[in-house]
Amino acid sequence: MPHPAAVADRPATRYQLSRLIPDRWGIMTLVIALFVATPLIAVATIALTPAPDIWRHLYNTVLFGYVEQTVTLIGGIGLGTFIIGTGTAWLVTMCRFPGRGLFNWALVLPLAVPTYILAFVFTDQLEYAGAVQGTLREIFGWRNRQDYWFPEIRSMGGAVTVMTLVLYPYVYLLARAAFLEQSVCVLEVSRTLGKTAWQSFWNIALPLARPAIVVGMTLAMMEALNDFGTVDFFGVRTFTAGVYDVWLNMDSISGAAQLASVLMIFVIVLVVLERMARRGQRYHHTSTKIQALPSYRLRGIKAALAIVFCALPVLLGFVLPASVLVSYAVVFFDVTLQANYLTITLNSLSLSLGAAVIAVAIGLILAYGLRMGSGPLPRAAVRFASIGYAVPGAVLAIGVIVPMAGLDNAIDAFSDRVFGVSTGLLFSGTVIAILYGYLARFLALSFGTLEAGLGKVSRNMDGAARTLGASPFQAMSRVHFPLIRTSLLTAGLLVFVDCMKELPITIILRPFGYDTLATFVFQYASDELFEESALGALTIVVAGLIPVVILALTTLRTRPGHASGGRA
């Protein structure tokens, strides 16, 4: 009930204005967020700088090709991940058939395989000289390419297939969680009202899970936009490939930046879609009560089809690449070791570990800074900085090069003028540039994890610590830090693994002659020597398996409603 005096007594607007000026934590949060967001700002600035010549050139030459290829690629992957992800999620949550328990967690495994590695494995197996065509030729006595037809793996269709096979788990995980959260009652009501199981799925379960599925699809499509290794290797002319191409082969940083800015339009569309879907998710919870789900028992041909539908993605997305990599790794073990495998692995490990530590430290400062209520400005800056996760690595890399070269030149000029010594390029083309790129892209991972972790700590904990004499920093180190240890570890692990897999940022920003496992594998695959780098690829997959296994052990095992002897 509003009361009449409320308006008259409104605290001074002067105070409201003063809230816009952040305090110390707010300023720190703001500065760090802006630092992380600088590559994004750089790309945006270039995009908004009029460059009619470049645009006319792009328009007349490659622009439409890029648009068409990019739309086809992410459209295909969106559709593919939807069908496989939603279908398998429905089967393992709602139906009973032999192997369901196994598929329940095995369906996540392809997430451990980077897109480009699956592309290399598929190419290795399916190209003319590969095992599959070789076997076919032997069986049927075909002599050469003219004797038979075989789909070309290095094509748009190949790229869509390969990426769908490793990206569908995003949809699977989210759809699965959404199906599990749905009130059984709603489905049962539908059944009692005379709908079949299939109609209930189509009319009730699917619409209710739609926001979650859309979030999963947008995440998969963002990953697809980020992919550089597959499209480059398959010769698919998407924007991401274009950015790299224009930068390296045409040596035009501004042209690359212009392409990157167009690519950003795709990213923005996806980010908006994702945010909208996430908002929608809140209103689609039907119940907080989770009961044992009804299980439709599948028999005979139906059960067999279900098994095939669930088994194919796991086999093609994980079992096949893993076994190919293992066998090559064994055969070419000595060759790989001689190719500096250990140094390169050490590079990857130290780089990823460094990035993880920095990302966790900065993520913690930002998450805690926002928790302290630093006002709208730092909040907006942090939100902006965390868009990086959606931005393709190639774009961020361009965004790192531009300001860093500017900084280097400024320092060089300054030093030359004041000390008479030219410093040359201090940061560009160093490991620092790579770390900066990683941070710009993966900060959102650590920030999001830590923000969620902090969210579970009651605000009264802060109040209690502060009134007992702890400064904000002491409260963080004495109360929050120990309370969110798990989140800190998770955040570090997520960043670490993604850095181990990262290809486009590394390949654009790396110092001359410096290799990580990802660039090493990419280089060898490009030189048709993929087998010899298989140990490297296997190492990346094994690292990628760590979070997937943790996910499988924690999230998937404690199936709500199915817990046997769970919490009392």
Partner 1 sequence: MSPTTTPPAAAASKADGLHMLNVSHAFGDDTVVSGVSVFVEPGELVCLLGPSGCGKTTLLRLAAGLEDLQVGRITIGEDTVADGQGGKQMPPEKRNVGLMFQDFALFPHLTVYENIVFGLSEKDKARRAWARETLSTMGLGGYADAFPHTLSGGQQQRVALLRALAPAPRVLLLDEPFSGLDVNRRAQIRQDTFQILSRSGIATLMVTHDPEEAMFMADRILVMQNGRIIQSGTPVDIYFRPQSAFVAELFGPVNRLDCRVENGALDSALGRFPANDLAEGTEAQVLIRPEALSLSQSTTEGDILLTVLTARSLGRSTHLTLGLKDDGAGPLFNARMPGVFLPEIGSQVSARVAPESVLIFPKSDA
> Is residue 460 involved in binding partner 1 (CB under 8 A)?
yes
Q: Six-digit token pair at 422? A: 């030219």
Which of 49, 291, 350, 458 contacts partner 1 by CB under 8 A? 458
Element (H, E) at 164: helix 156-181
**Near partner 1 by CB under 8 A, which window of 3-11, 121-129, 505-513, 555-563?**
3-11
Residue placing its CB nearer to partner 1 in the complex, 6 or 139: 6
**Is the sign of the CA dihedral 222, 226, 231, 236 positive or negative?**
positive
Which of 12, 17, 48, 193 contacts partner 1 by CB under 8 A? 12
- Report 463-482 residues binding partner 1 (CB under 8 A): 463-472, 474, 478-479, 482
CA-to-CA dists, residue 105 to 98, 223, 306, 553, 567, angstroms: 14, 21, 15, 8, 22
> Is residue 20 involved in binding partner 1 (CB under 8 A)?
no
Q: What's the burial of 17, exposed, middle or buried (CB within 10 Å: 0-12/13-18/19+)?
A: exposed
Closest separation in Å from C-beta 35 to partner 1 = 26
**Near partner 1 by CB under 8 A, which window of 27-35, 114-122, 167-175, 455-463?**
455-463
**Near partner 1 by CB under 8 A, which window of 105-113, 173-181, 336-344, 462-470?**
462-470
Closest separation in Å from C-beta 460 to partner 1 = 4
Q: Six-digit token pair at 255? A: 């042209």
End-to-end CA distance of the chain: 42
- Residue 296 is classified by DSSP as E
Q: Six-digit token pair at 556? A: 């998937």
Closest separation in Å from C-beta 82 to partner 1 = 40
Binding mask 168-187 for partner 1 (x = CB under 8 A): --------------------
Closest separation in Å from C-beta 456 to partner 1 = 11
CB 25 within 8 A of CB 372: yes
Residue placing its CB nearer to partner 1 in the complex, 7 or 421: 7
Closest separation in Å from C-beta 19 to partner 1 = 8
Q: Six-digit token pair at 328? A: 């090559």
Q: What's the burial of 85, exposed, middle or buried (CB within 10 Å: 0-12/13-18/19+)?
A: buried
Q: What's the burial of 205, exposed, middle or buried (CB within 10 Å: 0-12/13-18/19+)?
A: buried
CB 391 within 8 A of CB 441: yes
- Report 315-374 residues binding partner 1 (CB under 8 A): none
- Report 480-539 residues binding partner 1 (CB under 8 A): 482-483
> Is residue 9 involved in binding partner 1 (CB under 8 A)?
yes
Closest separation in Å from C-beta 484 to partner 1 = 10
Among 234, 491, 540, smallest CA distance to 355 is for 491
- Report 248-277 residues binding partner 1 (CB under 8 A): none
Residue placing its CB nearer to partner 1 in the complex, 194 or 469: 469
Q: What are phi and psi of 249, to 5 degrees?
A: -85, -35
Task: Name the residues that contact partner 1, by CB under 8 A.
Answer: 1, 3, 5-7, 9-12, 15, 18-19, 458, 460-472, 474, 478-479, 482-483
